[in-house]
Structure 1
Amino acid sequence: MKIKISGIELRRIAMPLVAPFRTSFGVETSRDVLVVRVVTPDGEGWAECAAMSEPRYCSEYVDGAQDVLRKFLIPALPKDGVDAAAVGRILEPFTGHHMAKSALETAVLDVQLRVAGESFGSYLGASRDRVPCGVSVGIMNSLPELLDAVDRYAVDRYVAEGYVRIKLKIEPGWDIEPVRAVRERFGDDLLLQVDANAAYTLVDAQHLAKLDAFDLLLIEQPLANDDMVQHAQLARILRTPICLDESIESAADAAAAISLGACSIINVKPARVGGYLEARRIHDLARAHGIPVWCGGMLETGIGRAANVALAALPGFTLPGDTSGSHRYFVTDITPPFVLSDGHLDVPTGPGLGTEPLTELLDEVTTAREWIAL
């Protein structure tokens, strides 16, 4: 189904976080988000770009994403109409920039599905009407602060609402003792995993093996994103399952990781791999090889969260993802909030994403707008 695009709006919004979120990449207190709106004669489609303000998680950053969309990706779209399934192929000649490509493809897919009256979940192949949710706790300044945060945000407040899994960010000097402290305080029944964000090297293998004592669901991306062979070596040393995140930028990467034995679990972040269609291909590949996948998050607003929840409803997503409720990160979201119920979020059933920004709220947080006619 070809959609003829009249123009595309690139809008920047400022979204303060309810609390600072620290990882090995740095501390975020707010998000500078690029929102993409595709306008056609028959309707509009929405998406957000997950790129951070600085190129720390990957080489992309939000100013660069807007620039490459303006100069290269949007002008590459055919003026006589485009099918969302063809967007990835059209943009393939431009190296990298997966997050910018994902935002553009998602916005085109959203308007296409809205016009067709089909939901994201139905189109992707969702098999459930709700998905289990986890919550992520950042690096703290002290163990008492961490325990207070887990108690306040992860247990008393969130697990009381039903969050079914807790993820702790770790880095050298903040790993074994924080995990031990959380296990001792909250017990073995708490589903617990850790995320290293590529902060270690293979030299740290024996140190990381100490995490085996804590019965973790997984350790996420312990080594650098280009260290797939060394991840395979580490996997032979650790009992804790290794999950790859930054290393997986495509279905081809996933196939290589599986062949090498570099991981036994994959975190699928649609923005990182270039969009939801490539994310579905990774899901299909992993499922065929018996590799569990889960949907990672990038502190998305309700626009990105809606698409992530739909993806997480596919049958191969067997582990809880980073699809927290809206109020975990934002005081006020730009869409109707996603609210947790018994540890789960409902998969939107309306056409396209099944949600869209609330105009007044969106305008309040908008810092800049740019219109590009096709």
Structure 2
Amino acid sequence: MKIEQIALYNVSIPFVFPFKFSNGELLNHTCLIIEVKSEGLTGWGECPTFDNPYYTYETINTASHILKDFLIPRIINKTINSPQEIRNLLAPIRGHNMAKSALDCAIYDLFAKKQKVSLSQFLGGIKNSIKVGVSVSLQGDISQLLNRVESYVNEGYQRVKLKIAPDWNLKPLREVRKKYPDLQLMADANSAFSLDDVALFQKMDELNLTMIEQPLAYDDLLDHRTLQSQINTPICLDESINSLHDTRMAIALKSCQVINLKVSRVGGITNSLAIHDLCEKKGIKLWCGGMLESAIGRATNLHLASLSNFVYPADISSTNRYFQEDITQTVIDLNSEDSTITVPTNSGIGIEVDENLLSKYCHHQQVFR
């Protein structure tokens, strides 16, 4: 397929509630939307970067710069025979996985549409619906936290992830566990702690948490190994896993028992497939994480999560969990009876973009031919 045109949209969609975590607060989902055209077909991808370099060094501005000046020029007007070629074409540009992932995912969407199959079918997925959970940001007090969790449990979510921080950790976890003794409950530290906090994490063992996500430094594997050897609760690595090499190192060191695989963090679907297959072979369980995406990125995650080794509920959630209004005609809804979301069955990612809503929330657009 010859890549005939690429459009880059800078988008900002307001959240229903502010999203608070250990490093700050988000009022809008800022992202870059990629539109790739070839042979009368359109592929969509999303780069869910933040305005500030809190989660990764990438920001909306750096990703836009790298895409416009380096990545898009490497594939525009090129003939691509398979989506796996994108990784090699972009390899000379070091890092910038989220920017690369947006292009990679759009090309996968395009190829699945060419074959007239869903992205899940194209990837070899085996699930028609994905068990999902919800992520709860830092709250003002325990009462507010319990009300927020209750609202999500009432909607049907059966797994809840609580953001924790040095001043917000054991007590909120205990209170939620006390009220919901059978809830799948996990903690997400976003790298806010150190080995000085081993005693704190040992106390969490009594709470029967599904896992503790990224408790230590974002670029660490050694200290996570030490912590995992001293606690019973499984450690899940997130920010520490940016490549297949990182995954191999984590497995060799026994730094974790679970990995939160985010397609945007590891540079796209081709890399995600390699990590998925290695983890399945080595007995490391996966779950599909989210980056507060629009329905474009959210649908891509659903298709990826249909693969066999994604065994824990995904961090995807329904559209109305985050937005009153998205940029697509397709609404992603929770099946409240079993806490699942159905994998779209139309070709590609199965999502129809609403051009009017995309225009409404787009602050800048650039087209490459």
- Deviation string 1:43-75 (CA, Å, 9 cap, x unpaired) is 111111011111110100111101100000111
Q: Taking structure 2 as the reference length, what is the TM-score of the superposition?
A: 0.97
**Do the aligned residues in 2 keep the contact of 1:118 with 1:352 (CA within 8 Å)?**
yes
Give SS of 2:187's match.
strand
Q: Does 1:55 align with 2:53?
A: yes
Matched, 1:244 2:237: yes
In structure 2, the residue matched to 1:149 is: 148
Q: Deviations over 1:94-141 (max 9, x none)?
A: 111000000011111211221221211011111110010100100012
- Structure 1 moving runs of 4+ over 4 Å: none
Equivalent pair of 2:261/2:272 in contact (CA under 8 Å): yes
| Correspondence list, 1:30-45, <5 A | 30-45=28-43
After TM superposition, give the deviation of residue 25 of structure 1 in Å: 2.3
Matched, 1:271 2:264: yes
User: What is the aligned residue count?
Assistant: 365
- Post-superposition Cα deviations, 1:232-273, rounded to whole Å, max 9, x if no partner, equal 000011111000000000111111101100000000000000
Alpha-carbon separation, structure 1, partners of 2:300 and 2:166: 34
Partner AA of 2:66 in structure 1: V
Residue in structure 2 matched with residue 325 of structure 1 by the alignment: 318
Matches within 5 A, 1:206-285: 206-285=199-278
Which of 169, 175, 179 is the equivalent residue of 1:185? Answer: 179
Between stretches 345-354 and 143-152, larger displacement belongs to 143-152
CA contact (8 A) 2:285 2:311 kept: yes
Shift of 1:77: 1.7
Q: Note if contact 1:31-1:53 (Cα within 8 Å) is conserved in structure 2.
A: no
C-alpha distance in 2, partners of 1:110/1:97? 21
Q: Pairwise mapping of residues 127-142 of structure 1 onto structure 2 (< 5 A)?
A: 127-142=126-141
CA displacement, residues 158-210 of structure 1 (integer Å, 9 cap, x when unaligned): 2xxx2120000001011001101111122x21110000000111111112211
The answer (yes or no) to whether the contact 1:46–1:356 under 8 Å persists in 2 is no
TM-score where L is the length of structure 1: 0.95
Alignment partner of 1:356 out of 352, 356, 367: 352
- CA drift at 1:308: 0.3
1:42 Cα deviation after fit: 2.5
3-state SS in 2 of match to 1:111: helix
What amino acid maps onto 1:69 in structure 2?
A: L
Deviation larger for 358-367 or 172-181: 358-367
Whole-Å separation in 1 of the counterparts to 2:352 and 2:333: 16
User: Structure 1 CA distance, aligned partners of 2:113 and 2:23?
Assistant: 37
Q: Secondary structure at the match of 2:171?
A: helix
Correspondent of 2:189 among 190, 196, 204: 196
Q: Is the deviation greater in 138-147 or in 318-327? A: 138-147
Q: Distance in 2 between matches of 1:208 and 1:344?
A: 30
Moved more, 112-121 or 174-183: 112-121
The structural deviation recorded for 1:9 is: 0.5
Identity of paired residues, percent? 40
Amino acid at match of 1:218: M
Please give the per-residue CA displacement for 1:257-302, whole angstroms capped at 9, x wherever unaligned.
0110000000000000001121111111111111110000000111
Structure 2 residue runs without a partner (length 5+): none
SS, match of residue 265 in structure 2: helix
Matched, 1:12 2:10: yes
Matches of 2:358 and 2:73, distance apart in 1: 26
Specify the code of the residue in structure 1 equivalent to 2:264.
A
SS of 1:298's partner is coil
Which amino acid counterpart does residue 165 of structure 2 have in structure 1? Answer: E
AA aligned to 1:346 is T
Give the drift of 1:78.
Answer: 6.2
Corresponding residue number in structure 2 for 1:112: 111
Alpha-carbon distance in 2 for matches of 1:363, 1:76: 27
Counterpart-to-counterpart distance in 2, 1:61 and 1:144:
34
In the TM superposition, 1:286-301 aligns within 5 A as 286-301=279-294
TM-fit CA distance, 1:225: 1.9
Query: What are structure 1's unaligned runs of at least 5 residues?
Result: none
Per the alignment, in what secondary structure is the counterpart of residue 333 of structure 1? coil
Q: Which amino acid aligns with 1:117?
A: K
- Structure 1: which amino acid aligns with 2:248? A
2:161 alignment counterpart? 167
- The match for 1:72 is 70
1:95 aligns with 2:105: no
Q: CA–CA distance in 2 between the matches of 1:56 and 1:78?
A: 31
Q: Which residue of 1 aligns with 2:44?
A: 46
Counterpart in the other structure of 1:334: 327
User: Following the alignment from structure 2 to structure 1, what is the Cα–Cα distance between the partners of residues 218 and 5?
Assistant: 36
Distance 2:88 2:78 in 1: 16
**Quick check: 2:32–2:47 contact (8 Å CA) kept in 1?**
yes
